[in-house]
Chains A and B, each alone.
Chain A
Amino acid sequence: MQTRKKYIFLTFLASWLLLFFLGGDQLLRFAFFSGRRKAEAQRNWPRWTDRSLLKTFADPRELQSDGDPSLPSPRERRTARLNVYKNSRCRMETCFDFSRCQKHGFKVFTYPRDRDQPLSESYSKILTSIERSRYYTPDPEEACLFILSIDTLDRDHLSGQYVRNMDEKIRSFPLWNGGRNHLIFNLYSGTWPNYTEDLGFDIGQAILAKASFYTQSFRPGFDISIPLFSKDHPQRGGEKGWLHRDSIPPRKKYLLVFKGKRYLTGIGSGTRNALHHIHNGKDIISLTTCKHGKDWEKHKDTRCDKDNADYEKFDYQELLHNSTFCIVPRGRRLGSFRFLEALQAACIPVLLSDGWELPFAEVIDWGKAAVVGNERLLLQVPSIVRCIHPERVLAFQQQTQFLWDAYFSSVDKIVHTTLEIVKDRLLPHRSHSRFFWNTLPGGLLALPDFSTHLGDFPFYYLQHGSSPSEKFTAFIRVVSPAGSPSQPILRLIQAVSGSQYCAQILVLWSCGEPPPPSGRWPQTTVPLTIIQGRGKLGDRFFPYAAIQTDAVLSLDEHSSLSTSEVDFAFMVWRSFPERIVGFLTQSHFWDPEQRRWGYTSKWTNELSIVLTAAAFYHRYYHSLFTEYLPAGLRELVDSLAACEDILMNVLVAAVTKLPPIKVTQHKQHKEAVPQQGKGTSGVGSSWHFSQQQDCLTQLADWFGYMPLVSSQLRLDPVLFKDQVSVLRKKYPRLER
């Protein structure tokens, strides 16, 4: 064996030398350089000897005084363009009436539903989503955006849900106004055989939110591409993504899969007909079937029978679960259900759909969650996906899950994202930058009305390279009427103001009587301000301008804390600024007998709710609570006792997907704090309890799932109860 190798190499060397001596150089030169010779003799762009003498492309005067007095005035130009850029050339500045949104802000009106006009399931879900949104208004006078009550989702005139005489119907609406400020939803346009973008009626100047959008008919900055979703897509909440573990390497059975129809003829067949080429039966599974449509056998080719048989051997769901990449090719139309299915399954979509304006591409950076392939280069796909590094694969997978959960998992999310994109266009300086849209928790939960600065939010400290402010604001709510501040409050103010991290104390005076004069309040080293509340329970989470620090320490008049506890809890909060960090906890559980969520305030080994009677959280959550939640939900909170606590916890958990954090509390007053001592006092605790139970049920229903997450741990000081001298401990008082 070895000798044989030796001989091979020797022969090789010898022949090389021979070649070299016998004028092989001519041969070599021919082989290597003929291309270059024939091309131009130049190698690089020349360094001209006189390049310093070259003239500039435009002299400074031309560049700096780019005006022409003969031009029409800007105002005339703006008026003129209104007439030119209409319909297929619509842009926000020419086809949208911004003045409608000036007075009442961004409000959306849905046309009253007509009983005679049946709606498809999906369209009624869309309308419900809008009505559930915080932007909904029942008053057309207030509205900035209008939504038709005629089902425009399916505009394939062969379909049963196709609505005829659209033009006539639309013209009869007094509010139509040429489609100005209207938003039209559509999932299917055109029909066999060409599947054009035609909707079968004149949408005029209305914004089109359409699935399978083709880039050439897409009006950039005006239309919105939405994903294709099935009629079973949930209204709210939505299923979770399928990624439960961050494995590296991906540890999936297959690398790349496809299972679907093969079109033998017609539009889209170019790609679908070629997919079987990449099938290798091992880690790349690409299965096609010819069996679809009525007369498939007529077009049948030689592959069909074998392909059809292979097709039956694999289960689509199983492939979806067990593959790292999923091919999402165009169908007859550009988009397909497959896209959302792959996204949910954390199967990284490999898009083969040239010219598809990807869903919400105006805001979503798809390059982080999908491989955008090229239909013409199908055969390169296997090599492309094989070359993607494992850590990039993991990042892709996580991003699919984030996007699925933030924008696609329910009709609510799809519709609200659409509305949010339109809203962003109204006030560009108060809109989401791309960063907000593409980073957890996503554009729907990071409100630019609060701030456009990353450092002001609880989520971005690490990416932004900043840290939360080093002080906190104590925020005490007082509900029991009294002529002067009660003893417990005075003690509380003393304890809190003793903390070196306290910047100010705010007292929310939430009872009918006027607050005691300033002389009655204790002298503190930090400023103390009284705010007059409106007597509603949700008041405590109003984004008061007086709160200037990132951290809020929310307190009740009955809370009793020591300075050590406050200091330690604040230090913990600085490590977890996106969560609620507090002392008193409760937990939720699934009650299998009553088939609903249960709620307990008993001592348990778990916790999922931290009472805001004594808790640190980020001030952003005040804004989110007041502005993000629709009015209906806030009214619910005001009507139920002690529900605002739960709602706040549910909201924060829905945003972060993480449990709150419990910190050590001083043993002595654990029992002293009345656990149910909030809201109107003096009512039996069982009544409170049933109200809270009720509250939890209603919140789970509104969110469509149970956002609360349980935790099994408590954070204590490092040397807590350790057998070491008290003198060494920083928080000895917590142990007494």
Chain B
Amino acid sequence: IMCASAKYNTRGPALIPRMKTKHRIYYITLFSIVLLGLIATGMFQFWPHSIESSSDWTVEKRSIHDVPVVKLPADSPIPERGDLSCRMHTCFDVYRCGFNPKNKIKVYIYSLKKYVDEYGTSVSNTISREYNELLTAISDSDFYTDDVNRACLFVPSIDVLNQNSLRIKETAQALAQLSRWDRGTNHLLFNMLPGGPPDYNTALDVPRDRALLAGGGFSTWTYRQGYDVSIPVYSPLSAEVDLPERGPGPRRYFILSSQMALHPEYRSELEALQAENEESVLILDKCSNLSEGVPAARKRCHKNQLFDYPQVLQESTFCVVLRGARLGQAVLSDVLQAGCVPVIIADSYILPFSEVLDWKRASVVIPEEKMPEMYSILQSVPQRQIEEMQRQARWFWEAYFRSMKAIALATLQIINDRIYPYAAISYEEWNDPPAVKWSSVSNPLFLPLIPPQSQGFTAIVLTYDRVESLFRVITEVSKVPSLSKLLVVWNNQNKNPPEESLWPKIRVPLKVVRTAENKLSNRFFPYDEIETEAVLAIDDDIIMLTSDELQFGYEVWREFPDRLVGYPGRLHLWDHEMNKWKYESEWTNEVSMVLTGAAFYHKYFNYLYTYKMPGDIKNWVDAHMNCEDIAMNFLVANVTGKSVIKVTPRKKFKCPECTAIDGLSLDQTHMVERSECINKFASVFGTMPLKVVEHRADPVLYKDDFPEKLKSFPNIGSL
């Protein structure tokens, strides 16, 4: 099977056979010989010929005037008009796209031609700057193929971005004679300015049969949902003007309108709005008395005041985007660039990329009839949301509007997502700005489930050679009612585990897993033998936990299955003198970690620890033989955004005579090492994910004045 994903190894380290060294050398030698042969063959094959074939292989350096001319006979066929009922499953040929491990469509671009009619008059401008940029972007992307036979999608090089600059019938004829046209199947046309006087259709008028249309200015009546792609009208100002991102917050004007040539009816409604709200509303128009040489596109006027466009857009919280003769307006791009929240007033307009972008998070849509209520509607938007919309607007511009490349790639990605829906980009990836992606947390165990008690938990004891103590732990743990299986991870390669007859007899299955290497990460491997969700990791010297304490810990885990629930708690602190993190095991009022010497957690985190641990942490821990528990705390906190739960009072864990301070050892070097771990992990994670809390979990009636025998967990904190 061709899977992009490597199948995870579901067998334990103990079960991986090690290749014998002799064989390995043999295979490596053989492999290198084959490789060498291959390289040599390649060299000899291509090197001598490279000079003659260079024109095929390097990027061409040609002038647009040199492109071949194609004459279109007057009677050459014209495609059918666009078919409004087309959908992906009816008009699109998926067999051309195939199943491939990368889940990427292949896009072919026809080479550039100049089309002329019978009289030699050209059909349109050969190609516009923007369309050339768009095709270049596609050609440079992963989607591109130069092999017409492998292509899934075809992009004609006939430029139809602006309908006004082309001859409709002849353009259609040019389309029809493309080599793979086939009624336009799997062909994609890009158009930004559709329609023309007098009725300004909302989709390109060029007959195009089954071709997909990426159009700017669709209405709900012309947009074939799930087939066409709605794209923005590109604003060339995006490339010309550099508007630095402006922080969110209050701006000078509340509402601003910057469009010229608005219909007088709209303008009078806007002016009425201004009359009511005076200073906070600014309605601009074109300037009547501009001096020579000043580009009209870059200036706006209000009465006699002159404003720079698009800079003025940054002065306002909301910017009006009204429909003109067409629904799609280039001003939308300018407004987003300025981080101004667009107020879209264009009934039935399909917003750009609306199939994937959540415009409710970046704009306010107001029906044309509600224009007079605009002010009150906008005032009802909460301030914090306005700030988010401003950020969101700017992000949409940066990601999907700023260049023809961005527009082209977003369009192809949308089509790609339809063909490989199971590999589609998620809502969050499309919509969340990088800052949100970075700060937000999406918990992989998001469904609030309280796992059934009957499932029980699997105890995993990592051991090296302390057999006596191990047996005591096994005996103690086996008394816990909800224990369903016990797994001993035998981490000692030099010594065999005791014979079966010597092990304590317990009521649940006991399994011994032998490991290949003495690594701490073996404790966190998602062994197939773990059949429960809950895992109790316990050291082979924790003998002081009572059965009630362990059972209660399991009950607490059931209420918080996505957290680490453990007994000894620890804290990280910021050391102001040293300017770094410090590990703390004293009697503190706060906890941020629990030691995995005795902790319950979900098996999912074993999976994460083994396969998804960021950076080199896993190997680092194995090499240093320390801090696997801190790494686990970081991992869980980072992925869930939640704190640990410490259960039951602080106590002695190892022996009655020990001090209540627990853990591996107490000496100063140990503390220094642990602090180093925290600093190391914080730098790898790029943040400090640990959460500090002031609470721990006790049974409801803990230390209450209540008969002990009626309590569910009387034996807490007693040893």
Interface set of A (CB-CB < 8 Å, partner B): 2, 9, 13, 16-17, 20, 25, 28-29, 35-36, 39-51, 54-58, 60-68, 70-71, 73-75, 78, 85, 89, 91, 93, 98, 215-216, 220-221, 243-249, 251, 354-355, 365, 367-368, 371-372, 374-377, 380, 383-384, 386-391, 394-395, 398, 401-402, 428-435, 438, 440, 451-456, 462-465, 568, 571-572, 575, 585, 603-607, 656-659, 662-663, 667, 709, 711-724, 728-731
Contact = CB atoms under 8 A, between A and B. Distances in A.
Given A49-B61, A355-B89, A388-B422, A66 B695 contact: no
A372 B140 CA distance: 30
Nearest to A391: B444
A148 B553 CA distance: 56
Nearest to A386: B1
A246 B59 contact: no
B111 A42 contact: yes
Contacts of A365: 427
11 contacts: A42-B146, A54-B64, A62-B164, A62-B193, A220-B223, A372-B421, A376-B89, A428-B366, A463-B440, A465-B438, A657-B448
Interface string B104-140: 0000010110000000000001011111100110111
B442 A463 contact: yes
B446 A74 contact: no
Given A462-B440, A716-B698, A56 B94 contact: no
Most chain-B Cβ atoms within 10 A of its Cβ — which of A49, A55, A246? A246
A428 to B, nearest CB: 5
Contacts of A463: 440-442
B63 interface: yes
Given A17-B37, A465-B440, A712 B94 contact: no
A49 to B, nearest CB: 5
A374 B385 CA distance: 39
Contact of A39 (B89, B147, B641): B147
B382 A402 contact: no
A58 B261 contact: no
B625 interface: no
Contact of A45 (B129, B139, B556): B139
Contacts of B3: 383, 386-387
Given A43-B56, A220-B225, A663-B695, A35 B147 contact: yes
A661 to B, nearest CB: 9
A36 B147 contact: yes
A355 B90 CA distance: 8
Given A355-B89, A355-B90, A716 B56 contact: no
B99 A383 contact: yes
Contacts of B297: 60-61, 64
B263 A71 contact: yes
A255 to B, nearest CB: 12
Contact of A67 (B55, B130, B324, B431): B324
A135 to B, nearest CB: 21
Contact of A387 (B4, B95, B377): B4
A440 B445 CA distance: 12
**Size bin of chain B's contact surface:** 35 or more
A55 B358 CA distance: 34
Most chain-B Cβ atoms within 10 A of its Cβ — which of A220, A251, A572, A585? A220
A523 B711 CA distance: 44
Interface in B559-577: 559, 561, 569
B200 interface: yes
A714 B165 contact: no
A247 B535 CA distance: 12
Contact of B8 (A68, A368, A390, A428): A390
B60 interface: yes
Interface string B448-486: 111110010000000000000000000000000000000
B278 interface: no
Nearest to B330: A63
A318 B286 CA distance: 72
B503 interface: no
A455 B95 contact: no
Contact of A36 (B146, B421, B587, B696): B146
B360 A431 contact: yes
Contacts of B364: 428-429
A207 to B, nearest CB: 15
Contacts of B5: 387-389
Given A63-B235, A383-B2, A451-B382, A44 B448 contact: no
B713 to A, nearest CB: 8
B228 to A, nearest CB: 12
Contacts of B531: 251
A435 B361 contact: yes
B263 A35 contact: no
A386 B347 CA distance: 45
B381 interface: yes
Contacts of A68: 197-198, 200, 324-325
B624 interface: no
A545 B85 CA distance: 51
Given A245-B451, A464-B440, A57 B131 contact: yes
Given A56-B236, A67-B324, A718-B696, A13 B261 contact: no
A15 to B, nearest CB: 11
A49 B223 CA distance: 38
B33 interface: yes
Contacts of B135: 45
Interface stretch (B242-250, B514-522, B599-607, B627-635): B599-607
A244 B449 contact: yes
